Amino acid sequence: MLNYESTFKRLPAAMQIGPMDVPHSWRVTVLPFLEQSKLYDKYQMAEAWDSQANADILKQMPEVFGDPATGETGFRVLVSPNQRAGGALFNSEPARSGPHLAEIIDGTSNTICIVESVNTVPWTKPEGILFDPSGEPLQVSDINPKGFNVVFVDCSVRFIPPNIAPEFLKGIISKNGGEIVETDNLKVAR
């Protein structure tokens, strides 16, 4: 993600709008930054992720996203509507570009970028996990009842235990809620 940001001066959108206003997953958008340019070039940006033209791509999932044999990934981003204060890093609506690092008021080491969920999706599907800061608090069990790994925006990886307080979880999901969170006590994922 940060290699993408270094090139484009912002992160990709969770659901990146391509030609013909067709949304595509951030996982497809970052392929060239994962040494997967050939796969990226095969992907038909003017067609939907589940089109016949992109069906072969679904079968070629890079290992970085999980078991290629399944074509499914648990690596997902959290999305919020309207990008209001306290929202997740990514917008829940398709967009031409994602957030600037300067928008992450809570800090890149305190803001979740990617979660590893038990609720898998086809790796090319442009879909995030909805987080509404004014709605019911997101629970660890919504992602994985046993706890889960997260990648923070600064690329550090930590484990979120199943007994984490919902307010703490909300604080590390939020990019601009102004919460003071201490992530040093979270275990480093292996």
In order, the DSSP letters of 1-46 are -HHHHHHHSSPPPTEEE-GGG-EEEHHHHTGGGGT-HHHHHHS-TT
When mean pLDDT is compared across 25-39, 66-80, 84-98, the lowest value belongs to 84-98
pLDDT of residue 189: 66
Each residue of 111-134: pLDDT tens digit? 999 999 999 999 999 999 999 888
Mean pLDDT computed over every residue of the chain:
91
Each residue of 12-68: pLDDT tens digit? 999 999 888 999 999 999 999 999 999 999 999 999 999 999 999 999 999 999 999
Between these two residues, 136 and 153, which has the higher pLDDT value?
Answer: 153
What pTM, to 2 d.p., does this model score?
A: 0.91
Tokens of 37: 């340019």
Q: How far apart are CA 98 and CA 10, in angstroms?
A: 6
Average pLDDT estimate for 147-158:
93
Start-to-end C-alpha separation, the chain: 19
Give the CB-side neighbour count of residue 41, counting CA atoms within 13 A: 4
Tokens of 188: 């480093």
pLDDT of residue 8: 95
When pLDDT is cut at 50, 70 and 90, the band that residue 83 belongs to is low
Q: How far is CA 157 from the centre of its chain?
A: 13
CB–CB of 83/174 below 8 Å?
no
Each residue of 165-190: pLDDT tens digit? 888 898 999 998 887 777 776 767 65
Average pLDDT estimate for 99-116:
93
Where are the chain's structural domains?
2-180
pLDDT of residue 133: 85
* Strand 72-76 versus strand 78-80 pairing type: unpaired
Instruction: Pinpoint the alpha helices (H) of the chain.
Output: 2-8, 26-29, 37-42, 55-58, 140-143, 166-173
Q: 57, exposed or middle or buried, with CB in 10 Å at 0-12, 13-18, 19+? A: buried
Q: Please, which residues have CB within 8 angstroms of residue 63's CB and are 6 or more apart in sequence?
A: none
Tokens of 144: 């994985």
